[in-house]
């Protein structure tokens, strides 16, 4: 069909771990050897980090691929592992969550507080008729009750389905209907960009079309007026008055823990189903290994929303199962000012920060003076997730947030994988900016060509996973065939992640973006990521998105959209000059084949609500088509800004 991805970018900088971190790291290079020798034995040892009510009989049952069963016969309770066992070990007074509301109000919850609230919520849900195996939809802002609601479901064996609080009534309706949820947990609203943003009216609209919903539990956050129906119950009247004692009952290792919908590009969202024992084993282990988390001394902060998988795995289940102290923030990074994130790091003395490339590039655009205005000396480790991080963004992050010395873990994983799969180990790996480096111990990843053959070092192709892993999705809710078709049919016996990737000369893995975004220029498959990284490596560019637009001579031609850094002059002549310079810069960095046909300087890029660039819409602009579905856009005015600037150089 098409040849493998052209391998253009040549990034050779490499940064070994700080000596002190390496000397005290939770996980050393030995883990790779151990896992290579006995992968299942390795995962069994990691499962042993958790408290099990009943030991498993078999680590992995792979007799009916691609349907995996991990820790067969084992039983445990996820909430017990995240809360009770820390309280029982005398750590009840330890802070679990430093919560910071967008308006500046704060709450501090210890493990004992979180345990009590979760037990009350478990009792309240039981009272409302929720039983093990029932589905509960959660539609909440970033308030502690979001974590409590998830843990309460886990505690009673109800399968939660968290829907991001920014989604529309239609999106919420589809997700409630697909999972036939019995209860919805929501709030009157949350705070966003300096003002209350209502949630309850959206739930009312959705519930009117969802006969499965029997009750709606409503947290009071903003205090704004809400409409009320017979199904509605205030959280403070139901949960906070419930009995605080609740004995967690163990569930089977394969009991369904949660469903999380990925929007994807096609109309019907996929309900990714995760189970109990394997999921908690891998999220817990990776938090310990990749973030080198030391629960006694670290203050951890993951900036994701709980509505995404990163919030599930690295705000709720991974950190809490390890007994971490963490920061949780309700709002946006520029409310009330652009230094808000750094102010929070400074205030809580955050030691580990886990954020997304989109945020780092936004910070680059705003300028390095902003982080420079805060004391960030508490930080000791930085993480990135969600998209490929451009080498220059990586360097900026290390330089201006990490004092030029902190390790960065670029973590590749997906909603489907449940936990981090490919990442440096901070005490072991000499990281290269822009590369996720190597599969974690116990993970077998590869890059293959069109025929599914492993490519040699230096080659490009498709990222696959060769062996099942504990936190893998078990199926797509209610649609086993779609599960098989989507992930297991492209290459026989391999999990196809949908991402392009290359192996460099040392065999390290570089992610090159979704294969749907790959461009075909004069017969060469070229990755959008590499051209974007070349643009971002120019000192005038903060962020870039690249698409392939139909072209009569080359099949597709490269069209780029670039956001200039804050201080750059782009008016008139200066803009034209910058564009010419950028085209040449890309040609010089990657070769003439990658020279963009056209570059547009834009103030913003279209992003999904989880911060990923939506190249599909830019392709519509580049090919002068009317825009496709924009409902998953974070900010719908962005496309008008971009389209209206199409005529001139800017």
3-state SS string for 613-637:
ECHHHHHHHHCCCCCCCCCCECCCH
Q: Does 473 bind ligand 6R9 (CB under 6 A)?
A: no
Looking at the Cβ atoms of 253 and 419, the one nearer to ligand 6R9 is: 419
Within 13-110, residue ranges assigned H as helices are 19-24, 30-37, 39-47, 78-79, 85-86
Candidate residues 206, 320, 385, 614; the one interacting with ligand 6R9 per rule CB under 6 A: 385
Q: Is the CB of 128 or the CB of 359 nearer to ligand 6R9? A: 359
Q: Look at the alpha carbons of 414, 409, 83, 103 in this order and tell me if their dihedral is positive or negative.
A: negative
CB count within 10 Å of CB 168 equals 13
Produce one character per residue of 576-602: b if its CB has 16 or more CB atoms within 10 Å, e if not: eebbeebbebbeebbeeebbbbebbbb
Question: For ligand 6R9, which residue of 436, 445, 562, 605 counts as binding (CB under 6 A)?
Answer: 436
Give which of 419, 452, 198 is closest to 313, Cα–Cα: 419
User: CA-to-CA distance for 278 and 52, rounded, in angstroms?
Assistant: 12
| CB 44 to ligand 6R9: min, Å | 26
* Residue 499 CB, nearest approach to ligand 6R9 (Å): 5
- Provide CB contacts within 8 A for 31, sequence distance 6+: 42, 289, 425, 441
Q: What is the footprint of ligand 6R9 within residues 121-150 (CB under 6 A)?
A: none
Q: Does 532 bind ligand 6R9 (CB under 6 A)?
A: no
Considering the complex, what minimum distance in angstroms separates the CB of residue 547 from ligand 6R9?
16
Indicate which single residue of 203, 497, 621, 638 sits in contact with ligand 6R9 (rule: CB under 6 A): 497
Q: What is the DSSP letter of 550?
A: E
The least CB distance from residue 512 to ligand 6R9, in Å, is: 8
113 is in an annotated binding site: no
Residues 315, 312: Cα–Cα separation, whole Å = 6
Among 270, 305, 313, residue whose Cα is nearest residue 141: 305
Binding mask 171-210 for ligand 6R9 (x = CB under 6 A): ----------------------------------------
Residue 410 marked in a binding site: yes
- DSSP bridge pairs for 446: 464
Start-to-end Cα distance in the chain: 38
Choose which of 412, 477, 495, 561 interacts with ligand 6R9 (CB under 6 A). Answer: 412
634 is a site residue for ligand 6R9 (CB under 6 A): no
> Which residue among 499, 530, 543, 620 contacts ligand 6R9 (CB under 6 A)?
499
Residue 384 labeled ligand binder:
no
156 three-class SS = helix
Interacting stretch for ligand 6R9, rule CB under 6 A, among 3-11, 409-417, 532-540, 631-639? 409-417
The reply on whether position 530 binds ligand 6R9 by CB under 6 A is: no
For residue 279, the minimal CB distance to ligand 6R9 (Å) is 14
- Does 361 help bind ligand 6R9 (rule: CB under 6 A)? no
Q: Which of 77, 283, 310, 322 lies at the binding interface for ligand 6R9 (CB under 6 A)? A: 310
* Segment lying near ligand 6R9 (by CB under 6 A), choices 76-84, 163-171, 200-208, 381-389: 381-389
Binding residue (CB under 6 A) for ligand 6R9 from 242, 472, 511, 542: 511
Q: Does 388 participate in binding ligand 6R9 (rule CB under 6 A)?
A: yes
| Residue 282 annotated as lining a ligand binding site | no
Give the binding-site size for ligand 6R9 (rule: CB under 6 A): 21
Inter-residue contact 264 to 415 (CB < 8 Å)? no
CA 423 from centre of chain: 14
State how far Cα 454 lies from the chain centre: 27
DSSP helix/strand/coil, 567? coil
CA distance 443 to 385: 18
- Residue 299 marked ligand-binding: no
SS3 562: strand
262 binds ligand 6R9 per the rule CB under 6 A? yes
Compute the least distance from the CB of residue 553 to ligand 6R9, in Å: 30
Cross-strand bridge partners of residue 192: 195
Toward ligand 6R9, which CB reaches closer, 125 or 614?
A: 614
Is residue 215 within a helix (H) or strand (E), and if so which, with residue range? strand 215-219
Write out the residues near ligand 6R9 by the rule CB under 6 A: 262, 308-310, 385-388, 410-415, 436, 497-499, 511, 514, 610
Residues at the binding site for CoA are: 192-195, 310, 522
């Amino acid at each position: 069909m098409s040849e493998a991805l052209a391998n253009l970018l040549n990034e050779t900088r490499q940064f070994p771990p700080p000596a002190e971190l390496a000397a005290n790291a939770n996980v050393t290079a030995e883990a790779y050897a151990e896992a290579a020798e006995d992968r299942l034995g390795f995962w069994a040892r990691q499962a042993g980090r958790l408290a099990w009510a009943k030991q498993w009989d078999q680590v992995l049952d792979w007799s009916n691929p691609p349907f995996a069963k991990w820790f067969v016969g084992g039983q445990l309770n996820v909430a017990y592992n995240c809360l009770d066992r820390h309280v029982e070990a005398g750590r009840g007074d330890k802070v679990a969550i430093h919560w910071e509301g967008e308006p500046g109000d704060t709450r501090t919850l210890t493990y004992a507080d979180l345990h009590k609230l979760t037990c009350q919520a478990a009792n309240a849900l039981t009272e409302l008729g929720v039983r093990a195996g029932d589905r509960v939809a959660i539609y909440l802002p970033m308030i502690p009750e979001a974590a409590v609601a998830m843990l309460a479901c886990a505690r009673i064996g109800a399968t939660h389905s968290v829907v991001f609080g920014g989604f529309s009534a239609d999106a919420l309706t589809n997700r409630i209907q697909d999972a036939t949820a019995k209860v919805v947990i929501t709030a009157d609203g949350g705070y966003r960009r300096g003002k209350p943003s209502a949630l309850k009216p959206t739930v009312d609209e959705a519930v009117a079309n969802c006969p499965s919903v029997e009750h709606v539990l409503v947290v009071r956050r903003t205090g704004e007026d809400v409409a009320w129906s017979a199904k509605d119950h205030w959280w403070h009247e139901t949960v906070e008055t419930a009995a605080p004692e609740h004995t967690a009952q163990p569930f089977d290792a394969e009991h369904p823990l949660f469903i999380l919908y990925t929007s994807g590009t096609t109309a019907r969202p996929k309900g990714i189903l995760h189970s109990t024992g394997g999921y908690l084993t891998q999220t817990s282990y990776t938090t310990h290994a990749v973030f080198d988390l030391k629960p006694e001394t670290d203050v951890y902060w993951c900036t994701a929303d709980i509505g995404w998988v990163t919030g599930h795995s690295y705000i709720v289940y991974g950190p809490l199962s390890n007994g971490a102290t963490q920061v949780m923030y309700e709002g946006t990074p520029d409310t009330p000012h652009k230094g808000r994130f750094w102010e929070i790091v400074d205030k809580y003395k955050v030691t580990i920060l886990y954020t997304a490339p989109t945020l780092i590039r936004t910070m680059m655009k705003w300028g390095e003076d902003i982080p420079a205005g805060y004391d960030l000396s508490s930080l000791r480790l930085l993480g990135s997730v969600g998209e490929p991080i451009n080498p220059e963004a990586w360097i900026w992050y290390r330089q201006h947030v990490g004092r030029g010395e902190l390790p960065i873990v670029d973590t590749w994983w997906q909603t489907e994988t449940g936990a981090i799969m490919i990442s440096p180990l901070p005490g072991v790996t000499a990281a290269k900016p822009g590369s996720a480096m190597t599969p974690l111990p116990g993970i077998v990843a590869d890059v293959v060509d069109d025929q599914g053959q492993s490519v040699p070092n230096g080659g490009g192709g498709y990222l696959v996973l060769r062996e099942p892993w504990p936190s893998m999705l078990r199926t797509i809710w209610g649609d086993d065939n779609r599960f098989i078709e989507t992930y297991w049919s492209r290459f026989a016996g391999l999990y196809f992640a949908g991402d392009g990737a290359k192996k460099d000369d040392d065999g390290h893995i570089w992610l090159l973006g979704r294969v749907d975004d790959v461009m075909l220029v004069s017969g060469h498959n070229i990755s959008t990521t590499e051209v974007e990284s070349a643009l971002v490596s120019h000192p005038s560019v903060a962020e870039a998105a690249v698409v392939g637009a139909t072209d009569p001579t080359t099949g597709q031609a490269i069209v780029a959209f670039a956001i200039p850094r804050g201080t750059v002059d782009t008016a008139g002549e200066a803009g034209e000059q910058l564009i010419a310079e950028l085209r040449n810069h890309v040609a010089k960095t990657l070769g003439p084949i990658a020279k963009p046909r056209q570059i547009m300087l834009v103030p913003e890029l279209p992003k999904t609500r989880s911060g990923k660039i939506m190249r599909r819409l830019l392709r519509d602009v580049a090919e002068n088509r009317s825009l496709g579905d924009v409902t998953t856009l974070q900010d719908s005015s962005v496309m008008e800004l971009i389209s209206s600037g199409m005529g001139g150089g800017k």
